[in-house]
Structures are given as structure tokens and as C-alpha cells.
Amino acid sequence: MAAMQDEIQKLEITDVELIRVGCMGSCYAEPTFEVVRPHQPAVVYGYVDQDSAREIVRIHLAGNRLLEHQRIPKPGIDDRQVRIALRNCGTIDPESLEDYIAVQGYRALGQCLTTKTAEGIIQEVIGSGLRGRGGGGFPTGLKWKTTALARDDQKYIICNADEGDPGAFMDRSILEGDPHSVLEAMAIAGHAVGASQGYVYIRAEYPLAVARLLIAIEQAQQAGLLGKNIMGTGFDFDIDIKYGAGAFVCGEETSLIHSIEGDRGEPSNKPPFPAESGLWGRPSSVNNVETLANITAIILKGPDWFSSIGTEQSKGTKVFALAGKIKRVGLYEVPMGITVREIVYEMGGGIIDDKAFKAAQTGGPSGGCIPAVYLDTPIDYDSLAAIGSMMGSGGMIIMDENDCMVDVAKFYLEFIVEESCGKCTPCRIGNKRLYEMLDKITGGKGSLKDLAKLKELGETIKDTSLCGLGQSSPNPILSTLKYFHQEYVGHVQDKKCQAGRCSALLAYCIDPEKCSGCMVCVKKCPAQCIEGAVKKPHRIIQDKCIKCGSCMAVCKFGAIEKR
Amino acid sequence: MNEVKIEINGVELSAPADLTILQAARLVDVDIPTLCHLDLHNPQVAFKEASCRVCMVEIEGRKNLAPACITTITEGMRVKTSTPRAIRARRTSVELLLSDHPQDCLVCEKNQNCDLQQLAAKLGLRNELKYQGAVSCYEKDCSSNSIQRNPDKCVLCRRCEIMCNDFQTCGVLSAVGRGFETIIKPPFGLPMMETACTFCGQCVAVCPTAALSEMSVVSEVWDAINNPDKFVVVQTAPAVRVALGEEFGMEPGQAVTGKMVALLRKLGFDRVFDTDFAADLTIIEEASEFVHRLQHNGILPILTSCCPAWVKFFEHQFPDLMAIPSSCKSPHEMFGAIAKSYYCEKFGIDPQRLIVVSVMPCLAKKYEAARPELSNKGSRNVDYVITTRELAKMAKEAAIDFKVLEDEVFDNPLGESTGASVIFGATGGVIEATLRTAYEWLTETTLEKVDFEELRGMKGIKSATVKINGMDVRIAVAHGLGNARTLLESIRDGSCRYHAIEIMACPGGCVGGGGQPYHHGDIEVLKARTRAIYNEDRNKTLRKSHENPYVQELYKEFLGKPYQDKAIKFLHTHYTERENI
């Protein structure tokens, strides 16, 4: 940005304004730069560095010519994204209230306070078909309605910004790129359910999001958009921030509430639901960041517009954090009903090195792995659940032929074992046992009996755990067991890892035909387990080999292979 | 409460809408196994954790299984408790718990008294464990001489945490860490001895396994008994005699005083005395102190100080109110002090040879006995404290058939007691006993109606006003430290004014003590013990402490006047301000 500023001054261009905006979501091409000129389509440049920044100024700003080789698609314009929740991300200055107001900010709140009744707002949200974007998929309007119907003089709106799924960062992006949209939606929710206080429960590991939220709250308070007598309508609503300490389980609403109350972040049984008895025993509506980010658009454009997007049971859009073996890593807001294939191959640009697609893991540690046969399954809450995965908060990790599905399941289980709160038996001990069995299998010590046990225990954990974390924690195992059963059988029966990931099941061997006897691998081997003399074929002593792969990495003759 | 119609295992029934599935099932004799669940019929302690996931049942139309212990019934609900799915679920929960549990049942403290063991047997878990893997391994906490913490045996039922936090408001035990590493422990992992633990033992009383148990001194007591150089006297607290029988399969609420005395003689104690004697002595001292404060504009209210858990509680939590509790030692400590002075002197026994053993319903008494100020020249007033449970263990070790023992009576002079001392074992008893004496002293008339019914019973905080010499003397009673806290806070902020207050740490008073036979959540057991206590009182000829002839003799021969020089030296103590952590 400094280089750009410098170049602008050098060329004495005066009619240019440089604005720092939030993340656009095109992570693969960061840093990005967008040029907006009146009466011309916006142009987005990716992979910008100091030199190209100066070039953009010289060629595009001064010369009004495009740098085609550095252009990337503008999200939502040049691709199939439909940006509702992310509509302002990357287009406005998140630290400017004026910027937000310029894109119709706080207009929805104004309408709600002056022309709409609480019941009317709830009806609109119900009519829109919006469902919770945090993972559960509960209809947002119904949640509000239950909270509204609960009789109490004190109610709360809680924004769940405890985004914890590995690889998911859409909530962070919204809070960093468009914090006011969440605050405005919370105030609308407060008006709808009869709450005068809201809390944003945000993980402390999101310092930039926290900072921007704090700025936004202060701006809104000073502008009379939060606090007492908002817009002179007599409606009071204020928002405080509560910090989470990074426990995954605190994304579960009852745990989150206990955490705000100062208690140990662990869930309690439902019912009662927070909408009936939540924070400090008062009716509370807990809504996820992305859910809230849809609200003002629904109010301004109407529920019919919103429900025209998506599928029968899943309306609107969903933001996915696409990662893994994919060419274009980033955030993609897509209409519900789009297929995995479209996301992977159209938006994501396909698999890195054009390898074969193996699976898409959705829903984070609570989700499952979708195999290639379901590439054309439309993505919505119910279709994903039907194939053993879930929407979750929108993480999507793409795997290729080099990924071992047993190892993937083990990775997620390890996360769950770390993050289980330890309250209920099945989640606390059951997941640990599942992990231990997977460890045994990837270590080459598993048996077919273990596979049966994995399934039985996994199903029981789902059936008996106390909260959503435990009820979904075996999904990565169960879905891979179902769709990649042969791979498991390979591990326990043939003691082979097809993908070559499970080191205990691998053997590094030297092909005597190719080996030139250069001694490089002999010298490099940290376990000193390669025998050999100069110009004679070397040999790996399998018993001693620690399977680190360093011999393979240094061999210039391709004489070492993994089997 | 309106009734709803439900169906359990095909049986239709109508039940109040606030019942849980578990409660409703019991109405139609359907047994649903439980582990973490506990119902103390006390609204202050709601066990709503449902953490063990043993009582899982199927509800028609619900995706997942539901815990019967906290799921309330709703109209039209159809529940199935014994489907293969429900059975598999409860078995799996217990199998998982066993996979992270030491397999040393045969030599475990709780062998044959363990809820987990009984549950495993009930569910038919035999042969090898289905799931195996890492087993938690933590250090035992034996820092105090009251409570032993063995986290390896913890099933995370959270009962102790609820008792310690919600009922006793001490906040010493709580869950720390996550996942498989979750453990119940004191703040900062401190040893129990360095915390604000009062050693009330209510955590032990509700622990389903041996994760929390008493620090036993049974072998030390055997050694003392078997040492010919020692003269070993034993004293028994009032609440022990109404509970001991339960350890031998007798119905709760049977007073087994005579058998207990016979047992103690058989075990080899040289003299069998009664803490009740010392309770009468306590009343003389405490009533004197109360009358003194009343007549000399002293600090009021006076708070009883018989309960060592309560004493430690106010030392930690209310150091600013340290002037109001009575300075009286607890009865068994008074006994010890008198045994090692007066008794030895009178019977020509070398105090160095004398060993005093207390049999108590309490774990805090173990801690109390080791308090440095409760000793004389390095010799403790009381050498060993064993619980009701430990006494029963000694009887079993000695192969004594308790039920067939012939009744015997206590030795004198330290074995005589009045009805006033017996009721020390129940909540309200100490203050009632104090009133019986203080009333007569202040009015110099005979108290005809000695039963102060309004001070009895299981209500958490009770109060009464007694007219003495035309003055309204206001009395309050609290049992449970949470109730004590409420009461003390109202005194601190001046919203309540009383003249005298009795506080006991345990529910129901000493009958519900942490060293009593396990009640397994059956609150009727405590009520039965209480009834037995008041029966004993009613059957006594003497029912006022100052009428105890041996106590009178003790003052005449040794102590002189109550609440004065020698009495203060032997029978009173002081307190220490302690950190609240």
C-alpha cells in the first residue's frame, strides 16, 4: 500500500482514494487490490507485491489499461458466488461507519424500529427460511419466536463468534470486513424478541476482529445506533463483548452461555433451550455471525427474495472456507444447492497438480468425508446429513489421492479428544478409545474386529453424548468407514496404506538397479540404517528404519521407493 | 401440577408434569439404572449434570437417546427403557468408565459399597473389558488426615463438586482440564490441606466410588489396643449409635447403643466412654458463656462451635466475625482434655499411657484432633478419630457378629449422659440442649416443656423465639454450610438479629455426617436416624445437661466454676484466621 501511495504521489495522480478494506476472501491470491472507476466494471488484481503495485498504478490508474496477467475473478461478479453475508467484505472500510451507511447500513434497523412490529420481523425471518449457519441449522426465525414468546423482563441476544472448526474463517472475515452488519442484525433481533442487551462471544485469538468490533460498537453508540433510545424510537439496545479462551466446545450454545456466566465452558442438557432459559436463566437467542450477517439483507430485500435463493429446505447462501488440495483456497459464498463438483472445479479451480479428487471433508471435526461418487450432490443441510456429513460452520477441505482417509479420521479425532470438555462419559472416554483404535490401525496393529468396534462405539457415542460436539464427533470415522471401507481393510488386513501416509505401514526400499552407490543416503540417514559401500548398491535395514523419508528426498537417481 | 399421560415400556400412566422419566418409571416399578444421579430432596442441590449417560432411554420420535434422570415427561411421551439400543448405550457408558478405572476392586476401600461396582454387576459385565486403552494415573492427595483423594477412581459424576460448591459453598472441588484429562481437584491443584476445605466430608458421603474416602487410622487404633503399655479409652458420638447398625444390615433408625458398647469392649478398648458425657459438659460451658454474654452486654449472637467443619469454614470465610462463635471446644475434645487430666488423676493413670480414641460420624474431627491448640504439651487431647464406618470395619475384621451382641452399658464416670446430650447428633439439638439449661439458670425455674419442636427438622434454616424472663430470645439453626453462609451474611449486614445460633456443616446435622454409613442418596435414612436420636432423648430420665451427676462431680472435684479459670484452660479454645482459597 505504501508503494502504491508512493507511486501515486510520484505520478501526481490526484483523483484517487486508497482505502484499506476487509478480506475479499480470495486467499489464494492475497494480497489483492481492486480498482473501481466510475462507469467501469471493477477490476481485481491478485498476487500483488511492491513492484506490481507500482505497475498497477502506472498502467491501470495512470494509463487506463488493464494488467490482464494479474487479474483474478471478482468474487460474486466474475464467478458464481452470490454474496449476501459477505456483501460488504472487501468493498467497504470496516472501520468507517460512513462507509457502512453508504451501503444502506442501519437502514434495515431504522425500518424495523419505525415501520415493523416485532412479530412482523420474526415472520419475515421465518418466511425467509434462514437457518442457523453455525452448524445446527435450526430455523433462525423459530429461535427468535421462542425467545420472544418466553415471558421475562430481561432477555439477551448473543452473537456466537467462537468460530472453532479447523480451517473455517468466514465469521472472522465478516467481523473483520463488515462488523456493523452483525451489530445492526443484533439490534434488530433485540427489537424482535424484546431484549435490550446483546453480547458478542468472540474468541480472543481474533484480535483484529475484536478491535474492529470495538471500534464499530463505539461508533454505533456515538451515533445513537446502539444504547438508549435508538434513533429516537425509545428502543434501548446495547452490546458488550465477551472473550472466549479458545475452547472449541464453547461454540456450543449452552457451553458458550456458561462461559459468559464465568463458569466452566461445558454444555448442559437441553431442554431447557437457551431461548427459554439461557444466560443467567433468562431467555436468550444465540445466533452465529454468518446467520446475523444475512438479516439486514432479508429485511431490506424481503423474505421472498431470500427464499428464492437455494433449495426447498435450505434457503439462501452459505459461505464455505475452501482449503486443502485445492488450487484456489479461499472463502466462497454460494447458493445452497450448488454441488461439490461446482465448488471444487469451477470456483476452486480443481485439485492441485490436477491429481484425482478423493474426498471433501465438510463440517469440520463434526462433519464427514464426501467421496467422489457424491461430487454432484447438492449442498444443503439435509443432503449433507443424508450422506453422513454436515454443513457445520462451512469448512470444506479437499483431499486428493495422496491423503489417507484413516489418517484423516485420526486427525479429526485427535482434535476432538483435545477439545472434548470431559463432562459426559461417551465423549470423554469413548472418543479417546476411538482415537486409540485409529492409532492402532494406522500403526499396523489393527484387526477387522477393531473396525466393527469403531463403528459400534462411534454410533453409540453419537446416540448418547450430551451435546452437539459429542453427538457428531464420530462422523469423520463413520463416514470414512462407510465410503472408504476398503482403505481401512487394507490397513488392518494387508497392512498397507494406499496413500502412503501411514509411516508404520510403509517400507523404503532401494532399487539395486538404479542405485549408483553414491553414499549420499547413507550419510543422510538419521537412524544410520543404510548399509553400503561406494559404487555398490545400498540396502536399508528395515528393522532400524524410522521411515523419515530423508533418503528418498536426497536420492538423485530415484532409486528409493516407498512400498 | 397438572398431570400428563405417558407410556413407559407399553404401560400407560398419568403422572405430574414436573416428574422426570426416571421418577415416573419408578411409579410403575420400571428400574432404570443410574450412576451420577442423586436426589437429596433438597432444592438447594440439584444434581442435573446427567454426565454419566447410563440412564439413557429411547423416546419415540426423538433422534437421540435421552437421559431419564433429567428429562421431564411431556404429554403423550412414549418411553422405552430396555430396548437393545438403550441397553447397548448404558453398557457402553459403564464399559468405557471401567476402561479408565483401576481394576483393584478386591482391595478397594469401597469394595462392596461402590455404586460403579454394583452397576457393572447389575448390567452383567463379565469377563474381559470390551474397550481398553490409556488409564488415568494421578497422584493421590493424602495431604490432610481427613479426606483422601484418589482421582484414578473418579467417574466424573460431579456429585462432590455440587455438594462442595452448591450445598456447602466452599468451592474447593471442581472440574479442571478438558477431555480425557478432566479431573476434579482443588484450585491450582493445591493439596486439600492447603485449601479452604472444611473436611465436612459431604463429598465423600456422595462419592459413588473410592475417588474420595476417609483417611483411615484403623491400623493405628489396632496397634494402640494391642500395645500392653497403653491404656486405651474410647468415646462415641451421639450420631454413631443411630447409624452403626446399618453397616450390619440393620434397618436405618435403630439405636444400637448397648451393642455398640459391647462391641467396643470386645475389640479390646480398656474403657468405653460416651462423648455424650462431654456434650453435657459442653452445654454447661456454652450455656454459661451465653448467659455471661447476655448479662454482660457481650457480643451476640453466640454461635455454637461443636462442629469442626463449621469452625474451619468461618475461619476461612468469615474471619471478621471470629469474635462471635463460642470459645468452647467440641465435646470430644473436651472429653480428651478431661480424660487426660481429671480421669488420669482420679484413677492414678499416667497420662502418657492414655490413648483417647473417638468414634465419630465425621471426617472433620480427624482434622480437628490434629489442630495444634487442641493438645497439651505435645500430647493431643484426642489421639485417634475413627468414623462410624471404620468402627464397623474393625468389627468385621475381628469377625464379631454385631447383631447378636448383648447390650452393655458405658463405663463411668465419663459414660453418663442426659437426653440433652443425645440430641447433639441432630440439627437443632445443641441449641435446644443449651436452651434447656440456660432457661433454668436465667429464670431459676424448672423448664417443664423441654422439647423445642420448631428447632428440629430438615428445613435448612430454622428460627424460633423463646421468652426468657420476659425477654424475647431469638434463636436460629442452620445445617449445611450454604445455609450457614446465608445466615452469617444476614448477621454481617445486620438484616437479621439473633441471640444464639447453632450451625452444623452436614445435612441433618451429625446424623448426616461424612463418616456415617453411606446413604446412597436416600434421605429417608437421615430422617430415620434423627427419629432414633429424639427417641433416645425421650427415654432418658435426665434430659437437661446440668442434671448430669457425674458432670456436677467433675466441677466439684476438678474444674471448679463453669467458664472460669480451670474450665477455660481445659475446655475452651481459640480460632485462627485462614486464607480463603
User: Rounded to whole angstroms, how far apart are CA atoms B219 and B386?
Assistant: 10
* pLDDT > 90? residue A164: no
The distance between the two most distant Cα atoms of chain A, rounded to a whole number of Å, is: 90
The mean pLDDT value for B555-577 works out to: 96
Q: For position A14, what pLDDT does the model report?
A: 86
- What is the DSSP pairing of strand B78-80 with strand B3-8? parallel
Q: Is A114 found in the same domain as A39?
A: no
What residues of B are labeled active site? 286, 289, 306, 326, 365, 368, 373, 510
Q: For position B521, what pLDDT does the model report?
A: 84
User: Rounded to whole angstroms, how far apart are CA atoms A442 and A386?
Assistant: 28
**C-beta neighbour count of A520 within 10 angstroms:** 16
* pLDDT > 90? residue B536: yes
Select the CATH number that applies to the domain covering B138-215 from these four: 3.40.1160.10, 3.40.718.10, 3.30.70.20, 3.90.700.10: 3.30.70.20
Chain A nearest-CA distance from B163, in A, is 16
pLDDT digits (tens, 9 = 90+) for A429-467: 999 999 999 999 999 999 999 999 999 999 999 999 999
Test the A interface: residue of B20, B51, B53, B129 with most A CBs within 10 Å: B53
CATH number of the domain bearing residue A199: 3.40.50.11540
Sort out which chain B residues have CB atoms less than 8 A from A430's CB and list them: 92, 96
* Contact check, Cβ <8 Å, B179/A420: yes
Q: Is A457 found in the same domain as A345?
A: no
Q: Is A432 found in the same domain as A547?
A: no
* pLDDT > 80? residue B43: no
Sorted by sequence, the CB contacts under 8 Å of residue A17 that are 6+ apart come out as: none
Q: For position B520, what pLDDT does the model report?
A: 87
Confidence bin at A135 (pLDDT 50/70/90): confident
Q: Is A247 found in the same domain as A117?
A: yes
Q: Which of A371, A400, A429 is the last residue of a domain?
A: A400
Q: Is A222 found in the same domain as A135?
A: yes
* Count of residues making up chain A: 563
DSSP sequence for A157-195: EEEEE---STT--HHHHHHHH-HHHHHHHHHHHHHHHT-
Residue among A247, A428, A453 minimizing CB distance to B156: A428
Whether residue B62 lies within 8 A of chain A, CB to CB, comes out as: no
Cα dist. B12→A69, A499, B365, B518 in Å? 75, 57, 51, 35
Q: For position A543, what pLDDT does the model report?
A: 86
Whether residue B51 lies within 8 A of chain A, CB to CB, comes out as: yes
Residue of B nearest to A249 (CA): B178
Q: For position A1, what pLDDT does the model report?
A: 81
Whether residue B556 lies within 8 A of chain A, CB to CB, comes out as: no
Instruction: Supply φ then ψ for residue B237, to 5 degrees.
Output: -75, 155
Q: For position A403, what pLDDT does the model report?
A: 94
pLDDT digits (tens, 9 = 90+) for A279-335: 999 999 999 999 999 999 999 999 999 999 999 999 999 999 999 999 999 999 999
Residue of A nearest to B133 (CA): A433
CATH number of the domain bearing residue A415: 1.20.1440.230
Confidence bin at A546 (pLDDT 50/70/90): confident
Q: For position A323, what pLDDT does the model report?
A: 94
Whether residue A23 is contained in a domain is answered as: yes
Q: Which of A272, A307, A342 is the last residue of a domain?
A: A307
Q: For position B45, what pLDDT does the model report?
A: 81
**C-beta neighbour count of B100 within 10 angstroms:** 23
Sort out which chain A residues have CB atoms less than 8 A from B177's CB and list them: 422
Q: For position B435, what pLDDT does the model report?
A: 94
User: Rounded to whole angstroms, how far apart are CA atoms B482 and A303?
Assistant: 52
Whether residue A78 is contained in a domain is answered as: no
Sort out which chain A residues have CB atoms less than 8 A from B97's CB and list them: 425, 429
* pLDDT > 90? residue A389: no
The mean pLDDT value for B301-305 works out to: 95
The mean pLDDT value for A378-400 works out to: 89
Test the B interface: residue of A269, A428, A429, A433 with most B CBs within 10 Å: A429
Confidence bin at B157 (pLDDT 50/70/90): very high
Q: For position B374, what pLDDT does the model report?
A: 96
Confidence bin at B415 (pLDDT 50/70/90): very high
Delimit the domains of chain B by residue range: 3-97, 138-215, 219-571
Q: For position A77, what pLDDT does the model report?
A: 87
**C-beta neighbour count of A204 within 10 angstroms:** 12
Whether residue A80 is contained in a domain is answered as: no
Structurally, what CATH architecture does the domain formed by B219-571 represent? 3-Layer(aba) Sandwich (3.40)
Touching A: B residues 83-122, CB under 8 Å: 85, 88-89, 92-93, 96-97, 99-100
Q: Quote the domain boundaries for residue A341.
A: 317-400
* pLDDT > 80? residue A563: no
In the block, which residue shows the cell 472507476?
A: A37
Q: Is A165 found in the same domain as A211?
A: yes
Sort out which chain A residues have CB atoms less than 8 A from B99's CB and list them: 429, 433
* Contact check, Cβ <8 Å, A464/B53: yes
CATH number of the domain bearing residue A549: 3.30.70.20
Select the CATH number that applies to the domain covering B3-97 from these four: 3.30.479.10, 3.40.50.2020, 3.10.20.740, 3.20.20.70: 3.10.20.740
Q: For position A498, what pLDDT does the model report?
A: 87
Q: For position B47, what pLDDT does the model report?
A: 85
Whether residue B65 lies within 8 A of chain A, CB to CB, comes out as: yes
Full-model pTM: 0.93
Confidence bin at B48 (pLDDT 50/70/90): confident
Q: For position B95, what pLDDT does the model report?
A: 97
Residue A182, judged by CB atoms within 10 A of its CB (0-12, 13-18, 19+), counts as: buried
Sort out which chain B residues have CB atoms less than 8 A from A425's CB and list them: 51-54, 93, 96-97, 155-156
The mean pLDDT value for B178-197 works out to: 96
* pLDDT > 80? residue B44: no
pLDDT digits (tens, 9 = 90+) for A4-52: 889 999 988 888 889 999 889 999 999 999 999 888 889 999 999 999 9
Q: For position A507, what pLDDT does the model report?
A: 85
User: Of A258-272, A545-559, B324-338, B344-358, where does mean pLDDT reach its minimum?
Assistant: A545-559
ipTM: 0.93
Please tell me what DSSP assigns to residue B370.
Answer: T
Q: Is A321 found in the same domain as A300?
A: no
User: Of A77-81, A410-414, A428-432, where does mean pLDDT reach its minimum?
Assistant: A77-81
Q: Is A173 found in the same domain as A113?
A: yes
